[in-house]
Structure formats: C-alpha cells, structure tokens
C-alpha cells in the first residue's frame, strides 16, 4: 500500500484526493493546505467525500515529517525550494507544475541533489502539458513511420473553469486587451512549460530541433457582456485567446501545440475544435486521434471532467514514480501508467 500526501487542495487537489481514495493500492496519509480556513478540516470532506480521518494542516514541517511514499504537489504557484524539501525528506513527488523536461542548469542540479539526499524521484506530468503532449503523441506514432510533424489542438472554455485566480488573474480573461496581450504569465509560465514537453517528445522520437521554440498569441474581445464562473466578462475585454508553441527542425515545424481558448462570450474567434483534443501525426500514414469526454458544459461545477482527468493523470502514475530510480524522471522514461479497474470488477487475491 503506497502512502500518499496531497499538497494543496484547489480544484485539482480536491479531485486528486478523490482519485487517491479510489485506488486500492494507495492510502491518503496527509494533506497540506495554505488556506487557514481549511486547517483542521478532514481531507475527504474538503474533496466532497466521506471523512477520512486525515486532517488538513498548514504546518509544512509536520507534513514533511510524515512517513509517506509520494506527494501529489499541485499548488497554482510552484516553488522549487519547496519541492526540493519534499524530495529531501524521503518522499517522491508527482506534480502538474512545470517539471516535465528540465535541462542541465542550477534548477536541475538543485533537484538532483534533493533526490539524492532523499532517495526519491520527481515527475512533472498532468494532462496538457503532460499526457496529451508526451504519451499520446508517442503512443500514436507507433502506428506510423517517417513522422514529419505532430500537431496537438486543444479546445476548451477557460472562463467556465471555476478558478478565478487561474483564469482571471493568470490568463487575463475579462481584462483589457492590452493587459491580456502583455501577459508575463504566458512568457514566464505557459511558454516554458509547454516548451519542455515539446522538447521531451521530440527528443524521444529522434527529432533534431532548433534551440528556439516559437510561439503565437492572439486575443479577441467579447462582443457582448457575459456572466461566467470566473465573474463578469465585459464587452470589449479579453474573451478568447489562441496560444501556440512550436518546435522546428532547420526552420521546419515538427511539433505544434495550439490552444483555442474561447470563453463562451460572443467573439470573432473561430474555434477549430470542440472541447477536447485532436492529436495528428503526419507520417506514413497520417493519423488523427480525437480525445472527447469534455464536451458538456461545466458551468459552476467544481469537479468537471477535465479537472478529474488532470488529477487522474497524476495519481495513476504514482506507482511508477515510486518504483523509479532516484532522480529527476519523465513520462518518456517510465512504464506506461494505467488506471485501476472499477472496485466491483477488480481481481481478488
């Protein structure tokens, strides 16, 4: 039985707790929160589940002192020193934060040193960037040969995602157009994060890519007022965005990831696909894989399908990370993770 700690209980963290409790090979043993109002509350109750007996705490040192195999680390704002403290305490870390493919440098050296002290591993995963930018293209490419280009397209409505901090503050929906365009979070957060996963996948598939990862960003204003779960989006403010990152080889595109972010407000933005993803492998043959299940609107829901999927991507890879050699690891290095069968259909003994 793997002992797991949940670090942060926002909407992904709450879904992560549900996923941990749904595994018969894991036990939730700790829960770290930053909100004082959550301190002392049962972790299961915070996730909308039955009480677990595990009480959330704001005491970081108490969490680090716990005996556990792995920490699911999902704060909105990550901290490498914090991650290293967890690793050095003897706990593996699985996170949706930008640790998919770290190059040599001070940050990587710090993480490797912490892993060596704790005999632990760090994995950056998640859904996108993560499974949809790494494992899905790699798996799909096995049906083809002489691959020339990978194109992953994401469609969604972020303003229906019930996190004002993430969507409003960091992604700048509902803000003036110039503020949305001049968004340091895209340059300092989104671009490097996606660039990591593109580099990892291209490396695993043998592409020789250029040093620079290209990017494109477009913003459209709302043509009417709209009430959304993240708040009021006024006419004329940022209501739809397209963000694209692209790896090239000798100037030729080899991996393109395009995020289509309409908000639900009327705009002039043409949405290429529905909620979900399309993964295209241009090769012999050229193939397209459509990922659905996220189409239904989740206005106001705190546990929409895309959030559950994101959390499941993290929890389901815990056994592989715990079994990995100490050190920084990636989705390309590990055995393919799987979910568990439904409780009433599982093998016994």
Highest mean pLDDT among 62-66, 125-129, 182-186: 62-66
Q: Does CATH place domain 135-300 in 3.40.50? A: no
pLDDT value at residue 45: 97
- Nearest residue to 334 via CA among 345, 321, 318: 321
Task: Specify the pTM.
Answer: 0.88
Neighbour-count burial of 266, counting CB atoms closer than 10 A to its CB (0-12 exposed, 13-18 middle, 19+ buried): middle
- Nearest residue to 239 via CA among 265, 216, 213: 265
**For 68-88, what is each residue's pLDDT tens digit?**
999 999 998 899 999 999 999
**For 138-192, what is each residue's pLDDT tens digit?**
999 999 999 999 999 988 766 666 667 777 777 888 889 998 888 887 777 777 8
d(CA 217, CA 178): 12
Please report, for the chain, the start and end positions of each structural domain, with discontinuous segments joined by +.
Answer: 2-125+317-345, 135-300
What confidence category does residue 305 fall into, taking pLDDT thresholds of 50, 70 and 90?
A: confident
**For 241-270, what is each residue's pLDDT tens digit?**
888 999 999 999 999 999 887 765 555 555
pLDDT value at residue 349: 61
Which residues are CB-neighbours of 226 under 8 A, at least 6 positions away? Answer: 159, 232, 233, 239, 263, 264, 265, 266
What confidence category does residue 299 fall into, taking pLDDT thresholds of 50, 70 and 90?
A: very low
Average pLDDT, the chain: 89
Sign of CA dihedral 309, 314, 318, 320: positive
For the ranges 3-7, 25-29, 37-41, 167-171, which has the lowest average pLDDT?
167-171
CATH C-level class of 2-125+317-345: alpha beta
Look-up of token digits 């194109």: 151
């Amino acid at each position: 039985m793997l002992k797991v700690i949940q670090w942060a209980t926002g909407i992904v963290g709450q879904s992560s707790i549900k996923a941990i409790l749904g595994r018969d090979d894991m036990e939730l043993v700790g829960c770290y929160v930053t909100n004082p109002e959550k301190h002392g509350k049962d972790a299961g109750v915070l996730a909308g589940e039955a009480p677990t007996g595990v009480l959330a705490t704001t005491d970081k040192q108490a969490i680090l002192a716990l005996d556990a195999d792995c920490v699911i680390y999902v704060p909105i704002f990550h901290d490498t020193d914090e991650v290293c403290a967890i690793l050095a305490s003897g706990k593996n870390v699985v996170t949706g934060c930008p640790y998919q493919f770290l190059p040599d440098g001070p940050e990587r050296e710090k993480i490797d040193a912490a892993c060596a002290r704790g005999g632990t591993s760090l994995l950056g995963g998640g859904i996108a960037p993560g499974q949809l930018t790494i494992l899905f293209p790699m798996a799909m490419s096995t049906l083809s040969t002489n691959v020339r280009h990978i194109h992953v397209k994401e469609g969604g409505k972020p303003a229906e995602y019930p996190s004002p901090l993430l969507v409003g503050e960091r992604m700048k929906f509902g803000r003036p157009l110039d503020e949305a365009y001049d968004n340091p979070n895209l340059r300092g957060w989104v671009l490097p994060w996606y660039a990591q996963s593109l580099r990892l996948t291209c490396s695993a598939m043998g592409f020789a890519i250029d040093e620079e990862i290209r990017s494109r960003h477009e913003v459209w204003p709302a043509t009417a007022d709209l009430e959304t779960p993240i708040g009021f989006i006024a006419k004329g403010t940022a209501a739809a965005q397209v963000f694209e990152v692209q790896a090239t080889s000798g100037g030729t595109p080899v991996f393109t990831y395009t995020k289509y972010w309409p908000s639900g407000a009327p705009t002039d933005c043409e949405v290429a696909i529905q909620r979900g993803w399309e993964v295209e492998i241009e090769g012999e043959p050229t193939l397209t894989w459509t990922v659905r299940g996220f189409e239904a609107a989740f206005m106001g829901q705190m546990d929409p399908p895309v959030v559950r999927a994101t959390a499941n991507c993290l929890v389901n890879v815990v056994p592989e990370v715990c079994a990995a050699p100490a050190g920084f690891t990636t989705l390309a290095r590990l055995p393919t993770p799987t979910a568990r069968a439904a409780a009433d259909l599982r093998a016994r003994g």
